[in-house]
Amino acid sequence: MQADRSISNISLKGKVAVVTGAASGIGREIALSFANAGAAVAIADLNLDGANRVVTEIKQAGGQAIGIEMDVTQEQAVNNGIDKVAAAFGSIDILISNAGIQIVNPIENYAYSDWKKMMAIHVDGAFLTTKAALKYMYQEDRGGVVIYMGSVHSHEASPLKSAYVSAKHALLGLARVLAKEGAKHNVRSHVICPGFVRTPLVDKQIPEQSKALGISEADVIKNVMLGNTVDGVFTTVEDVAQTALFLSTFPSAALTGQSFVVSHGWFMQ
Ligand code: NAD
């Protein structure tokens, strides 16, 4: 189904946004929605071919975009990538720190190398991209908006997800510190906390959780993933992208430092 990206009249004309992990899933939809709203968008991802496919989609729709090969765990790659975006489009106004993966296993079987990989992508990646973007946002206090892709798991725990839950909780702390430090430079921060969204990240988990929990794949979807929603419906990439648009254009710092749960009632703060 073709996504409706024009349901709001929000304009990002003249703004420059960097979206990490934007070759796929949630990041891709945010990039497409931001470009549709008029922003120049950098599609930063490990997967440059995937990023460039999104760039082509945006350009074909009349928007402005650039593909950036970036591993968010590598400081030099992050700094070079952010500098490249600023050189191409003038500065950085919005950072969506979204790149992420999932590795599920009970704690007693969780490989330390997997734990470190999860922390590197979710927490180090958020820190490094923030630090690189602030260099531009703090210039003459021009300001900006940083949005971290948290999860319901920033607030809630599930079995098998020790590293993911810990990393997603950590983003709340980073966002709160940035809200306090960034205010004097007109920088705001937010965390968006989606419920289950049907992306490759979630598709991969269905058979894994089925095996680990000893239940059918249908039961993983119905009971584990959607059991606590009010409508038995997956959160959509559009639900998340519209929330990101709203937060990126909110006219004051009233919402800074806060997290926003987008989960069809699964988790209510
Ligand atoms: P996805 O697998 O569809 O996309 C993730 C993207 O991140 C991919 O394009 C991948 O190449 C990229 N990526 C992975 N490691 C990277 C790295 N080191 N550097 C740069 N890019 C990297 O996943 P998604 O479901 O769209 O997830 C996006 C974010 O949303 C993640 O942070 C995830 O934790 C979060 N999230 C997802 C869900 C969900 O149900 N899908 C729910 C809550 C939060």
Q: What are the extents of the domains in the chain?
A: 3-195+236-262
Regarding beta strands 40-45 and 64-69, do their DSSP bridges make them parallel or antiparallel, or are they unpaired? parallel
Instruction: Report the percent of the chain where pLDDT is more than 90.
Output: 94
Cα separation of 188 and 254, whole Å? 9
The pLDDT assigned to 4 comes to 67
The residues, ordered by sequence, that sit 6+ positions from 263 with a Cβ below 8 Å of its Cβ are: 152, 193, 194, 195, 229, 235
Is the pLDDT assigned to residue 2 strictly greater than 60?
no
Choosing from 110, 112, 148, 164, which is the catalytic residue? 164
Mean pLDDT of 155-171: 97
| CA distances to 53, 75, 128, 178, 227 from 258, in Å | 33, 27, 20, 11, 26
In testing the pocket of ligand 1, which one of 201, 226, 229 has its CB within 8 Å of the most ligand atoms? Answer: 201
Nearest alpha carbon, ligand 1 atom 34: 100
The pLDDT assigned to 9 comes to 78
The pLDDT assigned to 195 comes to 97
3-195+236-262: CATH superfamily: NAD(P)-binding Rossmann-like Domain (3.40.50.720)
Number of C-beta neighbours around residue 228 at 10 A: 17
Q: What is the DSSP letter of 14?
A: T
Cα separation of 93 and 141, whole Å? 11
pLDDT tens column, 199-255: 998 999 899 989 989 999 999 999 999 999 999 999 999 999 999 999 999 999 999
Report which of residues 5 and 17 the model is more confident about: 17
Helix (H, G, I), strand (E, B) or coil at 20: strand
Task: Name the average pLDDT for the chain.
Answer: 96
Mean pLDDT of 139-143: 98
The pLDDT assigned to 269 comes to 82
Cβ-contact 89, 243 below 8 angstroms? no
Nearest alpha carbon, ligand 1 atom 36: 151
Angle between helix axes 125-137 and 75-89 (nearest 10 degrees) is 30
Measured from CB, residues less than 6 Å from any atom of ligand 1 are: 20-21, 23-27, 45-47, 50, 70-73, 98-101, 121, 149, 151, 194, 196-197, 199-202
DSSP track, 40-102: EEEEEES-HHHHHHHHHHHHHTT-EEEEEE--TT-HHHHHHHHHHHHHHHS---EEEE-----
Mean pLDDT of 11-25: 98
- Reply yes or no on whether 112 is catalytic: no
Mean pLDDT of 157-183: 98
Cα separation of 48 and 54, whole Å? 10
Nearest one of 87, 28, 90, 36 to 59, comparing CA atoms = 36
- Residue 180 CB-density burial (10 A; 0-12 exposed, 13-18 middle, 19+ buried): exposed
Mean pLDDT of 181-194: 98
The CA 90 to ligand 1 mean position distance, Å, reads 27
Cβ-contact 259, 190 below 8 angstroms? yes
The CA 140 to ligand 1 mean position distance, Å, reads 33
Mean pLDDT of 6-26: 91
The CA 21 to ligand 1 mean position distance, Å, reads 6
Is the pLDDT assigned to residue 88 strictly greater than 70?
yes
The residues, ordered by sequence, that sit 6+ positions from 178 with a Cβ below 8 Å of its Cβ are: 130, 146, 187, 189, 257
pLDDT band with cut points at 50, 70 and 90 for residue 266: very high
